[in-house]
Amino acid sequence: MMRDNAPISHVVDALDVETYLVCDSKEEGSRLGIQLLKDLGFKDVDAVYVGWSNGGARVRLRANIHRPGDTYAWLPEAE
């Protein structure tokens, strides 16, 4: 069904990374999270959720692989 077997081509829309970052503020958590995704090679990135407390941030980071209207790698070839 898939166009190729690279795992990334099976991602429908976005890759979420959830982790806990040691940082001094919510803003720093957000900045670090976004930089983390960029360091991993993703370009269209955002911090969907950042909750900070006691020296660390619970983060949900998102790398958009396909936004609506893109050419989707997961779409099968025409039959």
Partner 1 sequence: MAASGDSAVAASPRKVLLVPLDPVHDVALKVLNRMLKARGHETVLLPPDLPMEEIVAKAAEEKPDVLMVSRTLSYGVAELLSRFVDQVEVAGLREKTRLVIGGKAIHPSLAAELGFDAGFGAESEYEEAISFVEGRTYVPKAARDDKVKADITSGYRYGYRNAGIGRLLDGIVDEILEWSASRTSPGVRRAELRKRMMSEGEASALLPEYLALCDEKIVRAYEKGEYPNKVRVLSAEEESRLDAFISQSKKVERSAVLRHTQKKPLVFVQYGTGCPIMDIQHIKTSEGWGADGVFHFDPSWGARTEGFLSGCLSHEEDGSVITVENLRKIKSSLHPATIWTVRAHRGLNTPETVVMAGEIGADLTKINIVYGSLNGGTDPERLTVDGVAGIRYAASYGMPFDIVTNEELGGVPADKAFAGMLIVARLALRLGAKPILKPLFCYSPDVMVRGLMDDNYVDYNAAKVMALRDIVDAPIWPGEPIGFMTHSEDRVQSAMATALHASLGISLGVDAITVASTDEAYSRGPISVAARVDTLQAVKEAFRFFGHSRIEPTAKAREWADGLIKGIETVLVEVAKRGSFVGALYDGLLGGPEDGAYPGRAGRGTVTTF
Q: Smallest distance, Å, CB 53 to partner 1?
A: 12
Using CB under 8 A, which of the segments 7-15, 19-27, 30-38 binds partner 1?
7-15
Please tell me whether residue 35 adopts helix, strand or coil conformation: helix
CA angle 23, 19, 63 (to 5 degrees): 105
- Tell me if 77 contacts partner 1 by CB under 8 A: yes
- Tell me if 46 contacts partner 1 by CB under 8 A: yes
- Tell me if 4 contacts partner 1 by CB under 8 A: no
E-state strands within 1-79: 14-22, 45-53, 56-64
